[in-house]
Amino acid sequence: MTETDHEGGDPACWGHLHDTEIEAPSDTTLAELMRNLADAVIVCDADGRITFWNSAATRIFGWNEDQALGESLDIIIPERLRKRHWDGYYGTMRTGLTSYGDRLLEVPALNSKGETFSIAFTVSLLRIEGSDRLAGIAAVIRDDTARRAELKELRAAARGATQA
């Protein structure tokens, strides 16, 4: 009987995969990925100034990279949420801790036309190498408007069904 691998193929065919050294993507490739990712990536420094803004951030929020870099995050935060955001932001800067590393923060946002829409995001803490201190904070954000609208419709339909 001929020996096969677990997928029924000739094991010799897979041999080269194990011999080849795996090469991690370069920093340039990873930077390119960040720039072109479908989700918005926004990085801010310790003061909350925008230091990185990718093409999806331009698509979602309307401001282009030149307009956004160096600005405060206030350009995308509705006024009534700014205090809560900055209390949280500087708290995280101080403690190096966040509860939104693996949990979505779902909030309304502002675009360049002053319109409000829904976003959902997680944050990543950027540590200074060899230190516990943070150099800044990154957020990976998606437009959540369509999903929330769908959810609202489904809830309304479910309410209608239970009342019928």
Residues that bind ligand HEM in the complex, under the rule CB under 6 A: 42, 44, 73, 76-77, 81, 84-85, 88-89, 91-92, 98-100, 107, 109, 119, 123, 137-139
H-type helices in 20-144, by residue range?
27-36, 55-61, 65-68, 79-95
Q: How far apart are the first and last CA of the chain?
A: 66
Considering the complex, what minimum distance in angstroms separates the CB of residue 77 from ligand HEM? 4
Considering the complex, what minimum distance in angstroms separates the CB of residue 67 from ligand HEM? 15
Residue nearest to ligand HEM (CB): 88
Nearer to ligand HEM, 25 or 96 (CB): 96
Nearer to ligand HEM, 56 or 123 (CB): 123
Considering the complex, what minimum distance in angstroms separates the CB of residue 16 from ligand HEM? 43
Question: Could you tell me which residues come within 8 angstroms of residue 83 by beta carbon, excluding any fewer than 6 positions away?
Answer: none
H-type helices in 2-64, by residue range?
11-19, 27-36, 55-61
> Phi/psi zone of residue 48: left (φ > 0), alpha (ψ -120 to 50 degrees), beta?
left
Considering the complex, what minimum distance in angstroms separates the CB of residue 59 from ligand HEM? 15
